[in-house]
A and B are shown apart, each in its own frame.
Chain A
Amino acid sequence: MENRRLFLKKGGVAILGLGIAGIPDFVRAAVLDQKRISKNKILICIFQRGAMDGLMAVTPFNDIHLKNARPGIFMEAGNGKPLIDLDNTFGLHPGFRDFESVFRSKNLAVIHGMGSPNKTRSHFDAQDYMENGTPFHKGTRDGWLNRLLNQKKLSHNTFSGVSLTSSLPKSFYGDFPCLAVRDFNDFKLKGGAGKISLKQSAESFEELYDLTTDELQKQTSKESFEAIKMVEKLNFKNYSPSSGSKYPVSPLGTSLKQIAHLIKSDVGLEVAFAESNGWDTHFNQGTDSGIFARNANDLSKSVMALWNDLGTYQDDVVIMTMTEFGRTVKQNGTNGTDHGRASCSFVIGKNIAGGKVYHKMSDLSAENLEDGRDLPVTIDFRSVFNEVAEKHMKVSIPDILFPDWHGGNLSFIT
């Protein structure tokens, strides 16, 4: 790490995967074909804010109760029908069509009926609980991903934990310094003025902070200036994804593209976080087109662009989606759904025992529903998060990550 930092400080660049003008494509391709030396594991979390309707994303299409409860938005699977039949029981929403290939190649698992043991149906509370990892304790000061990073005990570097959001998400709150950047293209010092160059400004600022007596400011500024320089060198604007990867032109597409660039630049990224918004579908949810379909399209196309862009880096990466809760089994009066309980999650990785929908669901008759209305939570989100931490990130500290949880794993990771 130290060596590479020095190397960068002296104006060098990490050659690996950098889309930098001047490195011919064939050189890059050759570099990418080699096996990587560094082997740190990477987790990418995508939080679907607003509560995704898991029953629409991955529909138990044979369930007559569901069909009856949703006259306006239920879809059928099979020939000429919109849903993609995954296993004769569950059908994938056509908006997620791009996920079909990774599902068939067994690199994608669906975890269904996942949610929180806390019954709150408030977006804010439920997101908080999921990000803190403590569903019954609101006052938790740090997030589970921060605790995960803290436990890795690796020498911290600027890009260990990166969130592609304007402010730090709750998941990243805590002692381990993480970086929140909405868009790396804007992560730079504002230009100079008149004859004062940007470089002069930056250097003077750096000196001022280096002089200060306040340790916190001094230390953080070192990180900041290093990050600014690195980002400048990484040249996000001119990043070109591997051939064939087409990222949607959307906030999520941009975020994931930048995450791919960070991964392939070997800057020490371990946990990345991004958000997908607009899942709160109270009105006109739509079926194979409409709001839900648009969001699903954006999410699956962005994720698959990232996955394909990773090339040999796929070996070290797991991508996991999460959402605070699901939605009502019954559609509401405005062709949408209201706040419910369980939803589903998509997990992608080379080490995932995929091609399967993991679930403990019963049929959706009224007596099987939570509070008589919602898909019940049958898989605690903590068991899923903890398995990813243990088996993928090699951090086995459930007591610290999820105090007051004592469950087992689902074994969806080999």
Chain B
Amino acid sequence: MRYLLNPLIFVFIFFNYGCFAQKQVVKKFPYAASGLTERQAAEHLLSKFTFGVRDKDIDAAIKMGLENWFFTQLDGNIADPDLDKRLSSFPGLKMSNKELVNTYSLGAQLRKRAIDEGLVSKEDVTDENKEKLREIYRELKLKHGVSSAKELENQTIHQKIVRAVYSQNQIHEILTDFWFNHFNVFMGKNQTSRFVLSYERDAIRPHVVGYFKDMLISTAQSPAMLTYLDNFLSMAENEDGFAKRKMNKKSSGLNENYAREIMELHTLGVDGGYTQDDVRNAAKILTGWTIYPMGDEANNKLVKFLDRIGEDRLVSQGFVHHGDFLFVPNRHEKGQKIVLGVSYDQGGYDEGLQLLDNLAKHPSTARFICQKLATRFTNDRPDETLIKHLSEVFIHSGGNIREVLSKLVYHESFWNKNAIHQKIKSPFEYTISAMRILQVEIHNPAPISNWITKMGQKLYNYQAPTGFPDQGKYWINTGSLLNRMNFGLDLANGKIRGISYDPEKLLQNQEPESVEDAIFKIGKRLLPERNIQSTVERLTPLVSDPSFSEKVNKAAGTDQEKSDEGMDEVSHKNMAEITENSKITHVLGMLIGSPEFQRK
């Protein structure tokens, strides 16, 4: 690695702070030291921080200045009326958890409702009557405005796809994906499924460039996390009052599930230096953290109990209620607990807050989080100096994510060749990047979602709290490669339902002179700033259609005197001929399925 003295280049950029613009001197990213041109640097930056790089994105970023592009993206306030319009077709996005629970019923509730209303008898609820039951549920839906949880699950998946493809605020989408996966919850768990959409919206999205601690607290107090890792049931072994009665069928008592994962997966990391005793004591500290009863399915005993006390007296009784979160003091384990050498004995809700604060500040946490960020944005085995550097920034800034990311892009290891195009795209990243480049119009995201599942990533359905592994070897296996190749071919050949694209758009304003040139230009579109010579050479023989070049020559040579407009007409017609040629779309499919396009 040669060290080049980076000439200090200063550029003036206008930053908006609140309502007045202020001149800021911004240092250039250190890409020149790695021998990158500005365009190569832009491509690399965008391939890591957007869901798929298009030429026009590179142009725009260069025009703005890469640094300005990055910080504007970090702000994430770009107006996006087109996306807003698209998202308006997902009613769940506007609902509170209570509304969600009342609108989208689990199978069991729908069944119960149907039986209660005499629409079906208990005995008739069998697999054989699936069709009939569907009919009955449709009826229920019309009558009560309710729907099935399945429909909400589809909304959750589909909004993610739509946002990733169309959002102007790409970094926020990338980071929402990253942090959701870090604080993973599983939509396949019945109690959790209907809270996943709001979890991403309320607990993750607002904090993606904020303070880590805030996200830790918001996830800890969200119905999705409370149900997914069972903490909503966790209570002291010595509880009194109503809690002694069984709140549900599960035996009540201490549940260590969340306490373990918050240390192992959310903060310290598996080697973060905690013991089984720490887990147990952390679980005791978090007893009583539960969900405020909501919706038609609320736990009646708890509702009655809270009614008896009255909302206004809850605070004086030691309860804490904000949003959907409830702290129930008589479920809380009393007495002293020691976690990581720190003693907690102030009692009640504050113990938990104190614990989260201490975990967020812990050096192991800084390291664990920064290692994950470095893995996501550089390569599968990130540079140790980068991890150390970012960990220091994390600690000194009080866990300010924005600060950490800013330092990441100023670190030389972000720009060196080990970080460029070295990450295998996840199935989600792969499909979205292809759709962005083809400028696909999505009418129905379901078929695309099925493809992503087929390639090994069922969105929101990673069972374990670890989230999907961020390693190429997890995504690439014998079967998944075949699926990726087939996806490329199906997408390009227009065989995936629910979406459409116009192959001509790919070659806009670029008149190919030959088949070879057409492939080359398409290749450049798909893989900007990469060496695609050998790829093109391999694919050209597939389309060596002798009549093709004649058509091109005929169209181009008809009349050199044509006005530009006329020329456009001709080239369009001519392009139509080229792109109608199914061979070209087939080659496009092969480019999408090519190894280069699998990497970012």
Contact = CB atoms under 8 A, between A and B. Distances in A.
A190 to B, nearest CB: 5
A291 B595 contact: no
A216 B472 contact: yes
Interface string B564-600: 0000000000000000011101100010011110110
B186 A371 contact: no
B486 A178 contact: no
Nearest to A231: B482
Interface string B214-230: 00000000000000000
Given A211-B535, A334-B122, A187 B466 contact: no
Contact of A189 (B472, B477, B482, B581): B482
Contacts of B489: 189-190, 201
Interface stretch (B138-146, B195-203, B323-331, B457-465): B457-465
A193 B493 contact: yes
Given A216-B476, A221-B481, A291-B126, A208 B493 contact: no
Given A187-B482, A193-B583, A194-B583, A208 B535 contact: yes
Given A124-B189, A218-B595, 10 more contacts: A138-B261, A177-B477, A189-B482, A189-B485, A193-B583, A200-B542, A201-B590, A217-B476, A224-B482, A371-B251
Contacts of B469: 141
Contacts of A166: 453-454
A207 B539 CA distance: 9
B522 interface: no
A194 B586 contact: yes
Interface in A156-205: 158, 166-168, 177-181, 187-190, 192-196, 200-201, 204-205
B303 to A, nearest CB: 23
A179 B477 CA distance: 7
A228 B477 contact: no
B278 interface: no
A7 interface: no
A342 B83 CA distance: 51
B56 interface: no
A212 interface: yes
26 contacts: A121-B250, A124-B463, A138-B261, A138-B465, A139-B264, A158-B478, A166-B453, A167-B453, A167-B456, A177-B477, A181-B479, A189-B482, A192-B586, A193-B586, A196-B542, A201-B542, A201-B586, A212-B595, A214-B422, A214-B424, A214-B595, A216-B472, A217-B595, A224-B478, A284-B123, A291-B126
A201 to B, nearest CB: 7
Interface in B82-126: 122-123, 125-126
Contacts of B485: 189-190, 205
Q: Name the residue in A181, A200, A214 with the highest tally of chain B Cβ atoms < 10 Å from its Cβ.
A: A214
Interface string B480-509: 011001100110010100000000000000
Contact of A228 (B260, B482, B493): B482
Contacts of B582: 193-194
A201 B585 CA distance: 13
Contacts of A204: 538-539, 541-542, 590
Contact of A209 (B126, B453, B595): B595
B473 A216 contact: yes
A201 B541 CA distance: 11
A277 to B, nearest CB: 11
A359 B541 CA distance: 67
Given A204-B538, A214-B599, A193 B464 contact: no
Contacts of B131: none
Contacts of A139: 264-265, 270, 464, 466
B481 A224 contact: yes
Contact of A190 (B454, B486, B595): B486
Interface string B524-564: 00000000001100110111010000000000000000000
Nearest to B543: A196
Interface string A105-134: 000000000000000011010001000000
Interface in A72-115: none
B581 A138 contact: no
B188 interface: yes
A209 B126 CA distance: 49
Contacts of A284: 123, 125-126
Contact of A194 (B122, B251, B466, B581): B581
Contacts of A209: 481, 594-595
A223 B478 contact: yes
A232 B517 CA distance: 35
A180 B456 CA distance: 10
B592 to A, nearest CB: 11
A403 to B, nearest CB: 14
A353 interface: no
A180 B125 CA distance: 34
B297 interface: no
A371 B123 CA distance: 29
Interface string A277-292: 0100001100000110
Nearest to B124: A284
A220 interface: yes
B583 A196 contact: yes
Contact of B538 (A167, A207, A218): A207
Contacts of B251: 371
Contacts of B261: 138
Contacts of B312: none
B127 interface: yes
Contacts of A8: none
A122 B125 CA distance: 23
A179 B458 contact: no
A76 to B, nearest CB: 23
A395 interface: no
A167 B598 CA distance: 19
A404 B458 CA distance: 31
A124 B472 CA distance: 25
The 8 A-B residue pairs with the shortest CB-CB distance, nearest first, are A212-B595, A193-B586, A194-B582, A193-B582, A224-B481, A217-B595, A223-B478, A190-B489
A292 to B, nearest CB: 11
A193 B125 CA distance: 47
Contacts of B265: 139
Q: Name the residue in B251, B456, B481, B541 with the highest tally of chain A Cβ atoms < 10 Å from its Cβ.
A: B481
A227 B543 CA distance: 27
A141 B265 CA distance: 13
Interface string B242-282: 00000000110000000011001100001000000000000
B585 A138 contact: no
A221 B480 CA distance: 10
Contacts of A141: 466, 469
A195 B596 contact: no
Contacts of A189: 482, 485-486, 489
B463 A227 contact: no
A190 B495 CA distance: 11
A218 B596 CA distance: 11
Contacts of A201: 489, 542, 586, 590
Q: Name the residue in B456, B458, B485, B593 with the highest tally of chain A Cβ atoms < 10 Å from its Cβ.
A: B485
A193 B585 contact: yes
B471 to A, nearest CB: 10
B67 to A, nearest CB: 30
Nearest to B127: A291
B464 A217 contact: no
Interface in B262-309: 264-265, 270
A87 B63 CA distance: 83
Interface in B433-470: 453-454, 456, 458, 463-466, 469
Contacts of A205: 485, 590, 593-594
B464 A138 contact: yes
B515 to A, nearest CB: 12
Contacts of B543: 196
Interface in A277-318: 278, 283-284, 290-291
A220 B476 contact: yes
Given A138-B465, A200-B542, A216-B472, A179 B479 contact: yes
